[in-house]
Amino acid sequence: MDTQDPQNPQHDLPQDPPPSDARPVLEGPDIARVLTRIAHEIVERAKGADDVVLLGIPTRGVFLAQRLAAKLAEITDRKIPVGSLDITMYRDDLRMHPPRALARTEIPGDGIDGRLVVLVDDVLFSGRTIRAALDALNDIGRPRAVQLAVLVDRGHRELPIRADYVGKNLPTSLRETVKVQLAEEDGRDTVLLGAKRTAQQ
Amino acid sequence: MQRHLISAADLTRDDAVLILDTAEEMARVADRPIKKLPTLRGRTIVNLFFEDSTRTRISFEAAEKRLSADVINFTAKGSSVSKGESLKDTAQTLEAMGVDAVVIRHGASGAPYRLATSGWIDAAVINAGDGTHQHPTQALLDAFTMRRRLVGRDAGLGQDLSGRRITIVGDVLHSRVARSNVDLLHTLGAQVTLVAPPTLVPVGVHTWPCEVSYDLDSTLAKSDAVMMLRVQRERMNAAFFPTEREYSRRYGLDGLRMARMPEHAIVMHPGPMVRGMEITAEVADSDRCTVVEQVANGVSIRMAVLYLLLGGNEPAVTHTRTTEEK
């Protein structure tokens, strides 16, 4: 979410192709492996994941949340509620860009009151998306606790926010971009690290 | 770039579908315990109503408040307007107060367009009904209601109304709702038929993108939605038709006529309804009548329009009207 792409699948322009010099830092099997690890960590920390609700942040966070839910279901033998949380209306940079098309917010039927909500996103960067997500949660209910799971933490936080579950810590420079591609949306699973395009390119 | 919503004819198909899709997400906010979003925090919106319209005003007000905007309601009655202040002076007063958007209802066709293009004011202008000209948010909420009922709430996302047949019945001559609906429904790919007594059909209707019929019964069987327009009693004396009973017999929608409509077809009405004249109580209270839904959908549509025009540093909705046409 903190990568530079417009996240909406329905209305936004097609995403820029990744830069040609981008190199993969995580491939399909690695992604499956780190998600399995995160699922085990969730079960361990939540002592069985009895009250866990997974909320993905559109677009790719939702697919990651669904994959995590499937893995948790395998481990715990129970169905884990999974939903999506669009944070567009809560962004602090709304007035700096044209308004984005909204993505779907879908809260599982039993709500989030008193549950352990695990927010799921693809990339953790400035932390502003997560701040917006915490605000959005506030309007929807009162979870027992909120945790954060991300596939990649690329650093450069602008707010005091930390992920509870990290797929891969990826030290980056601000001149680099991190692009997550998932089979559901992009046809393949990979995390690409590339140089940021400048305006002239 | 245009950043106003003056006429339904200004919207492209993609813009209209974007507004409908955004409204679908806004409608979900209404199902929450806290029906509020912080999106327009710190923005000031004036509801500038030169004509009375409680429904439209409270619908806009609810939408503005759900998006956390600061709302100022201005009604012409008892204000300096009744003492002779001009639209220009009012606009300049609002400009001096730093207003971000003006929702205007005016008895004169073209007043919102004048406000938006004269340079008197920098705010976004949203037309909430001007004379017999346009009422774009009404057309959008009608299209939203049709899409939800005829295509489906989730299935409708990203879809338009291609191939749907819509019949609009009644006082087309005085109706900005009919004009706006013809424009928008045409853009969305629907086929529109206007049905009215010959005296209530406007001059030049042949240039509109729709068909015209004087016979309601022959159009009912092939309509996916029948929209009844309000017939104002005050126009009764103007000899547009012989008697109320005569009108009701030829153009009123009763249970018998409704039974001739296809099973999936819906009955719409912009309200307020005159029961017994354009619509019978039996039809108005049936499951197929969407009047109450239209009111709820109105808030979602207005939230979507306000978000798309004001939510960012420039509007997401572009318009087809070019500066040359001014």
- Is residue B45 domain-shared with residue B84, that is, in the same domain? yes
B83 labeled binding residue: yes
- Is residue B76 domain-shared with residue B160, that is, in the same domain? no
The per-residue pLDDT for B3 is 85
Q: Which two tokens stand for residue B215?
A: 């016979």
In a domain, B31, yes or no: yes
CATH number, position B24? 3.40.50.1370
The closest alpha carbon to A4, from A129, A103, A158, A188, belongs to: A129
- Is residue B115 domain-shared with residue B208, that is, in the same domain? no
Pick the CATH number of A23-92+102-195 from 3.40.50.2020, 3.30.565.10, 2.40.128.110, 3.30.2010.10: 3.40.50.2020
Checking if the pLDDT of A11 tops 70, the result is no
Asked whether the beta carbons of residue B157 and residue A10 sit closer than 8 angstroms, the reply is yes
CA B1 to chain centre: 23
The per-residue pLDDT for A108 is 93
How far, in Å, are A115, B118, B198, B299, B310 from residue B265 at the CA level? 43, 43, 26, 24, 36
Q: Are A136 and A112 in contact (CB under 8 A)?
A: no
Q: Say which residue, A43 or B83, is predicted with more confidence.
A: A43
Q: Which residue of chain A comes nearest to B313, CA vs CA?
A: A95
Gyration radius (Cα) of chain A, Å: 16
Q: Which two tokens stand for residue B31?
A: 């199902």
- As a whole number, mean pLDDT of residues A33-62 equals 94
- Is residue B190 domain-shared with residue B124, that is, in the same domain? no
B36, B39, B312 ranked by CB distance to A98: nearest: B312
The closest alpha carbon to A178, from A103, A121, A134, A132, belongs to: A121
List the 79-138 stretch of A: residues with Cβ below 8 A of B.
86, 89-90, 94-105, 135
In a domain, B22, yes or no: yes
- Is residue B142 domain-shared with residue B23, that is, in the same domain? no
Residues of A in contact with B314 (CB under 8 A): 98
- Is residue B105 domain-shared with residue B153, that is, in the same domain? no
Q: How many CB atoms lie within 10 A of CB B61?
A: 18
The per-residue pLDDT for B193 is 97
Q: Which two tokens stand for residue B160?
A: 């338009």
Q: What is the pLDDT along chain B (326 residues), one digit of tens a residue?
A: 358 999 999 999 999 999 999 999 999 988 888 899 999 999 999 999 998 888 999 999 999 999 999 999 988 776 767 677 888 999 999 999 999 999 999 999 999 999 999 999 999 999 999 999 999 999 999 999 999 999 999 999 999 999 999 999 999 998 999 999 999 999 999 999 999 999 999 999 999 999 999 999 999 999 999 999 988 766 555 678 888 888 899 999 999 999 999 999 999 999 888 888 899 999 999 999 999 999 999 999 999 999 999 988 877 776 655 444 43
Domain that holds residue B164: 136-290
Structural domain tally of chain B? 2
CA separation for the pair B109, B130 (Å, rounded): 5
- SS3 annotation, B55-85: HHHHHHHHHHHHCCCEEEEEECCCCCCCCCC
- Is residue B178 domain-shared with residue B201, that is, in the same domain? yes
Q: Which residue of chain B comes nearest to A106, CA vs CA?
A: B28
Instruction: Label the pairing between strands A82-84 and A145-153.
Output: unpaired
Mean pLDDT computed over every residue of chain A: 88
Asked whether the beta carbons of residue A135 and residue B307 sit closer than 8 angstroms, the reply is no
- Is residue B195 domain-shared with residue B225, that is, in the same domain? yes
- Is residue B109 domain-shared with residue B169, that is, in the same domain? no
- Is residue B37 domain-shared with residue B149, that is, in the same domain? no
Q: Say which residue, B237 or A139, is predicted with more confidence.
A: A139
- Is residue B150 domain-shared with residue B281, that is, in the same domain? yes
The complex scores an ipTM of 0.82
The per-residue pLDDT for B134 is 95
The per-residue pLDDT for B4 is 94
CA separation for the pair B66, B39 (Å, rounded): 9
The per-residue pLDDT for B238 is 66
- Is residue B21 domain-shared with residue B43, that is, in the same domain? yes
Gyration radius (Cα) of chain B, Å: 19
Asked if omega into B272 is within 30° of 0 (cis), the reply is: yes
